[in-house]
Amino acid sequence: MEKLMSVQNDKFSLVAGDYLSSGVPLRLNLEQAWPIHIFWKEGKWEMVPCTGFNVFKLMQVAEEKGYKSPYWVSLRDGENAGGELREDAEGVNVAGWRVRGVSANFHGDLSLDSVEDAEAKMDAAEDEETALPGVAMRPKVLFNTEAWRGVDFPAYVERQLPGKEEALERAQAIAEKGAGCEVKHGGVLAYYNPSLNVICLPTPEEYGSLKAYYWALFEQIGHALASRHQMDLFKGLTMAPFCKEASFKVLYAKMVAAQLAYEAGIDVLE
């Protein structure tokens, strides 16, 4: 697990450098639908919303390619459903993971000969009862459903941008729900105090726009969610390499902010 975390740390540092050193926040295109991974199982499609950094990567590719479909499928599932890739189809490499027990057969490492071996080994150990949790990871290549032909994929409705009033209502609802901590206004900086479990930030008027205010609030909500008072994401992992880097935690908070901003649609605000 220590080795796995080190690998993750390198990748997150690269991502953090790309997105954070210039001060540009991670953002999701409001016009792009949330990506959903679909699986062909027993003659029908099953759907699982994508999570983590995969969301940003898939939405970026969808924007570049002009895809309107929110659905993404692996080569195996697409072919099992009777589909065939178009000549210009391009796959997207994403990280696949599942939280499961550690077994004698599989410990969540990636030191196997091939992805197929890793997948088979994970499936074989799936039903084993164990007490210790583990994270099993493997790379995946997904194709948007618009890159296929000869198969019926689930119908979808194109995402519609909210109006300003609706976006403000959504943002206020997120703020009211909060992150299990108090929000105080005042001062000139936005920050989360883990000792007091309090978010502090300037008033909306001082930001000059509601969009800027909610971006700042959502990022601090990300920090609060990761803290020991809420999700306690770093419990027992304080010595892990990635937990020592502020860039990892800032990246997580910005990912949360981007997803909340997308959910509310605050880019339409002024």
How many angstroms separate the Cα of 44 from the Cα of each of 72, 150, 153? Answer: 15, 15, 10
**CB of 260 closer than 8 Å to CB of 27:** no
**CB of 149 closer than 8 Å to CB of 87:** no
Pairing of strands 198-201, 191-193: antiparallel
The pLDDT of residue 98 is 64
**CB of 266 closer than 8 Å to CB of 35:** no
Architecture field, domain 164-268 = Orthogonal Bundle (1.10)
159 HSE (CA, 13 A, CB side): 20
Q: What angle do CA 21, 233, 265 make, to 5 degrees?
A: 60
pLDDT digits (tens, 9 = 90+) for 204-255: 999 989 999 999 999 999 888 887 777 666 665 554 555 556 667 788 888 8
Residue 171 carries which side chain, given as an amino acid letter? A
pLDDT digits (tens, 9 = 90+) for 21-42: 556 667 788 888 899 999 999 9
CA–CA separation, 64 vs 69, rounded Å? Answer: 13
> Average of pLDDT values for 90-103?
73
CA–CA separation, 176 vs 183, rounded Å? Answer: 10
Q: Where are the domains of the chain?
A: 31-149, 164-268
Q: What is the dihedral of CA 71, 76, 81, 82, to 10 degrees?
A: 120
Look at residue 120 and tell me whether its pLDDT is greater than 50: yes
